[in-house]
């Protein structure tokens, strides 16, 4: 069993770590890094921390417009597939790396396995939503994290090759949580007390590319009355500068992007998490920390339905009100993302089909 795995963005490195371990125990993996996240602090550190083998191919695509980036990846991934002749191609999530890998494989008749299949925000203006839908419709194996994802696929007429396997990010969190406690020192470095700070992240194009939405978020951050930490994505930093906006609140510590173990430590110890990231929403759920999401909708609808995640859009007043009042009793919240053994389940299915 020979599998080409395509990754390119920070959340995919996290998801790939436990699955890569499982693949390499049973077969051969060729790891392709598209270079979609090309900054060392956003990429290389994850391979080191999560003990992911160095990529067999690094495509160095870098930052471009959606069309140019996806096209460049597609052409280069096609070359890899022609050279390696794998039994299957494995992709994660909803990035340009995901759709480029899926399209390149589909056109060469290499079967596609999609981890995190069936997620829907139902907002086709989001590039991530388009990537999810197209990838699902080209995939042979659709590995869904929840029952909701399975229902979404059924509503689109996709019923073959659909498996509810749980969430690989839970595998990653369980595997790395103890490691984070042992190795991470971000709390001490930033002089933070557990439960006494907010953790912030901003990177979605719907927020960073819209000056009005970005301004509303900045106004909320500048009005915070409790300590907060914001690992600032390079792209977001550039968008703030371009819009003439600045985070001036001395309570908000804007720091450089951090590694996964440091991020886990901050998530587990935060009082609340304020984000626009899909992955961070789930990690907040796993960490049992209330999550406030600065989006109009989310693909992780279960977290909203269970009352652990509150959608506030990019609305200054709603963001501040949620930070002040939103509380969650996690003792009453069931687990809906599997048992932490999703990677093994995925490999059981692939091995049965591919031998």
Q: What is the mean pLDDT of residues 121-131?
A: 91
- With a CB cutoff of 8 Å and minimum separation 6, the contacts of 63 are 38, 69, 235
pTM over 0.75, yes/no:
yes
For residues 134 and 264, membership in a common domain is answered with: no
**Structural domain containing residue 223:** 175-332
Look at residue 70 in the predicted model and tell me its pLDDT: 93
Per DSSP, the residues of 86-113 read -SEEEEETTSHHHHHHHHHHHHTT--EE
- With a CB cutoff of 8 Å and minimum separation 6, the contacts of 277 are 11, 201, 203, 204
Look at residue 239 in the predicted model and tell me its pLDDT: 95
Per DSSP, the residues of 263-328 read HHHHHHH-SEEEE--HHHHHHHHHHT--EEE-SS--S-HHHHHTTSEEE-TT-HHHHHHHHHH---
Q: How confident is the model at residue 271 (pLDDT cuts 50, 70, 90)?
A: very high
For residues 135 and 232, membership in a common domain is answered with: no
- Exposed/middle/buried for 18, CB within 10 Å: 0-12, 13-18, 19+? buried
For residues 219 and 252, membership in a common domain is answered with: yes
For residues 149 and 236, membership in a common domain is answered with: no
For residues 181 and 159, membership in a common domain is answered with: no
For residues 350 and 212, membership in a common domain is answered with: no
Among 38-52, 212-226, 288-302, where is mean pLDDT lowest? 38-52
Q: Which of 217, 14, 318 is nearest to 310 (CA)?
A: 318
Tell me the pairing of strands 28-33 and 2-7.
Answer: parallel
- In the block, tokens 């371009």 appear at 242
For residues 23 and 61, membership in a common domain is answered with: yes
Q: Are 195 and 177 in contact (CB under 8 A)?
A: no
State the CATH number of the domain containing residue 264.
3.40.50.2000
Catalytic residue positions? 203
For residues 26 and 133, membership in a common domain is answered with: yes
For residues 202 and 304, membership in a common domain is answered with: yes
For residues 14 and 145, membership in a common domain is answered with: yes
For residues 41 and 162, membership in a common domain is answered with: yes
Domain count of the fold of the chain: 2
For residues 109 and 217, membership in a common domain is answered with: no
pLDDT digits (tens, 9 = 90+) for 220-246: 999 999 999 999 988 899 999 999 999
DSSP class of residue 193 equals: -
């Amino acid at each position: 069993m020979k599998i080409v795995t395509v990754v390119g963005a920070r959340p995919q490195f996290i998801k790939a770590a436990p699955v890569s371990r499982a693949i390499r125990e049973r077969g051969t993996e060729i790891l392709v890094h598209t270079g979609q996240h090309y900054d060392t602090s956003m990429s290389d550190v994850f391979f080191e921390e999560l003990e992911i083998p160095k990529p067999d191919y690094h495509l160095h695509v870098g930052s471009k417009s959606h069309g140019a980036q996806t096209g460049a990846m597609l052409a280069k991934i096609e070359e890899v597939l022609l050279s390696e002749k794998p039994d299957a191609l494995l992709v994660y999530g909803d990035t340009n790396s995901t759709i480029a890998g899926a399209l390149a494989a589909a056109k060469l008749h290499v079967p596609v396995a999609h981890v995190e299949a069936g997620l829907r925000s139902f907002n086709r203006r989001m590039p991530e939503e388009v990537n999810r839908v197209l990838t699902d419709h080209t995939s042979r194996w659709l590995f869904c994290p929840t029952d909701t994802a399975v229902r979404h696929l059924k509503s689109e007429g996709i019923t073959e090759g659909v498996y509810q396997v749980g969430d690989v990010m839970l595998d990653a969190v369980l595997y790395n949580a103890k490691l984070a406690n042992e190795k991470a020192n971000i709390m001490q470095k930033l002089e933070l007390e557990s439960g006494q700070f907010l953790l912030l992240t901003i990177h979605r194009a719907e927020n960073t590319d819209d000056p009005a939405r970005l301004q509303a978020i900045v106004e909320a951050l500048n009005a915070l009355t409790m300590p907060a930490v914001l690992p600032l994505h390079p792209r977001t930093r550039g968008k703030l500068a371009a819009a003439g906006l600045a985070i001036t609140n001395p309570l908000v510590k804007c720091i450089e992007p951090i590694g996964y173990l440091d991020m886990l430590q901050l998530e587990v110890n935060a009082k609340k998490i304020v984000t626009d990231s899909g992955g961070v929403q789930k990690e907040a759920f796993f960490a049992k920390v209330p999550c406030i999401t600065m989006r109009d909708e989310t693909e992780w609808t279960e977290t909203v339905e269970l009352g652990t995640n509150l959608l506030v859009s990019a609305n200054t007043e709603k963001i501040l009100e949620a930070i002040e009042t939103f509380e969650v009793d996690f003792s009453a919240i069931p687990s809906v993302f599997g048992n932490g053994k999703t990677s093994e389940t995925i490999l059981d299915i692939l091995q049965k089909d591919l031998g």
